[in-house]
Amino acid sequence: MKKILSINNLSKRFGRIQAVDKLELKVSAGQVYGILGPNGSGKTTTLGMILDVVAPDEGGYVWFDNQRPVEARKKIGAILETPSFFPYLTAVRNLMITAHIKQCGEENIEPVLKQSGLYERRNDKFKTYSLGMKQRLSIAAALLSNPPVLILDEPTNGLDPEGIAEVRSLIRNIAKQGKTIIMASHLLDEVQKVCTHFCVLRKGKKLHEGSVSETLGEINKVEVAARDMKKLETVISKFPGKTDFHNNGTSLLITMKEDVNAVDLNDFCFGQGITLKKLLTQRNSLEKEFLKILKEND
């Protein structure tokens, strides 16, 4: 897979604080890469260095197979802080100003407004927008030049649940277009639901790096229930895709074979005359793995 970014031995100190300590990271094309860590772990400093906003003390990084920094920067859309839009101007007028600053033309204003879900509100003043809408407009501004890479620093910070859902959905849709997204976050749930790969930073040091799916692992268990639990138990006992099951009283917890999933189980039950009223796949949580990673590195 083509490498988009390689970070090598990157370090930065602010006085007595070692913000980033010999960081090594690799991001490939098409990944949604989360830099996860508590406040003060070096996430924003790392993003600042790879965007040439903060000068590293040592180490370096390479964009797009060693392209020159000036050329590479043209391929990156970034939000390190919430951009300052003019409150009394509409979304369209604000994006026209942004396009002029970026020297990228105005032809993408309508597409990015549609993509961000703001097209119907395009002629409303920025001051009337909710926090979630303001953040989506920020992302739309970063997409104006149609960059292959998008960098986001805490994209859902300070948003209410509705705003978080809106921004999360937008990030997923952008990723489906094949763009590479690098985002810093301290929210475990956000990284688990959005990212394909992630690393964990603490006090500037990398504690872990890998794919979300491999880190979480596959807990191939399914919880099911039906109106006739006795009949369901009889049917499940004949299901060839199970390795084990037990009755919890109100449901059955089934351990599945590696290549079998909940759809296979549902089809089997339906074919045996059982309509399931509950079908729940159990998943591991990034929170448990995160705490495990921290404990292993104490």
Q: Say if residue 170 is exposed, middle or buried (CB neighbours under 10 Å; 0-12, 13-18, 19+).
A: buried
114 and 145 housed in the same domain = yes
Assign 132 a pLDDT band (cuts: 50, 70, 90): very high
Hey, what's the torsion of the CAs at 100, 104, 106, 110, to 10 degrees?
A: -120
pTM over the 0.85 mark: no
Taking residue 29's Cβ as centre, other Cβ atoms within 10 Å add up to 15
Q: Is the pLDDT of residue 137 over 90?
A: yes
Q: What is the CATH number of the domain that holds 158?
A: 3.40.50.300
What is the bridge-based pairing of β-strands 242-247 and 221-225?
A: unpaired
Q: Is the pLDDT of residue 218 over 70?
A: no
Return phi, psi of residue 167, to 5°. -70, -40
Of 169, 186, 216, at which residue does a domain stop?
Answer: 216
pLDDT in tens, 240-267: 999 889 898 899 999 888 678 888 999 9
Domain presence at residue 290: no
Residue type, 218: E
Domain presence at residue 240: yes
Of 196, 216, 236, at which residue does a domain stop?
Answer: 216
197 and 243 housed in the same domain = no
| Residue 26 to residue 18: CA distance in whole angstroms | 21
Domain presence at residue 276: yes
229 and 202 housed in the same domain = no
Hey, what's the torsion of the CAs at 35, 36, 40, 45, to 10 degrees?
A: 0
Q: Say if residue 146 is exposed, middle or buried (CB neighbours under 10 Å; 0-12, 13-18, 19+).
A: middle
For 247-290, the DSSP string reads E-SSSEEEEEPTT--HHHHHHHHHHTT---SEEEEE---HHHHH
Q: What is the CATH number of the domain that holds 258?
A: 3.30.70
Q: Is the pLDDT of residue 83 over 80?
A: no
Q: What strand order describes the sheet that includes 242-247? A: 242-247, 252-256, 221-225, 278-282
DSSP-based three-state secondary structure for 6:
strand
pLDDT in tens, 174-184: 999 999 999 99
Assign 125 a pLDDT band (cuts: 50, 70, 90): very high
260 and 156 housed in the same domain = no
Domain presence at residue 133: yes
Domain presence at residue 162: yes
pLDDT in tens, 87-124: 999 999 999 999 999 888 899 999 999 999 999 999 99
| Residue 141 to residue 109: CA distance in whole angstroms | 8
Q: How many domains does the chain have?
A: 2
Whose CA is closest to 251, among 282, 227, 235?
A: 227
pLDDT in tens, 157-214: 889 999 999 999 999 999 999 999 999 999 888 888 899 999 999 999 999 999 887 7
Q: Which residue range is the domain that position 247 belongs to?
A: 221-282
What pLDDT, on the 0 to 100 scale, is given for residue 273? 94
Of 216, 238, 257, at which residue does a domain stop?
Answer: 216
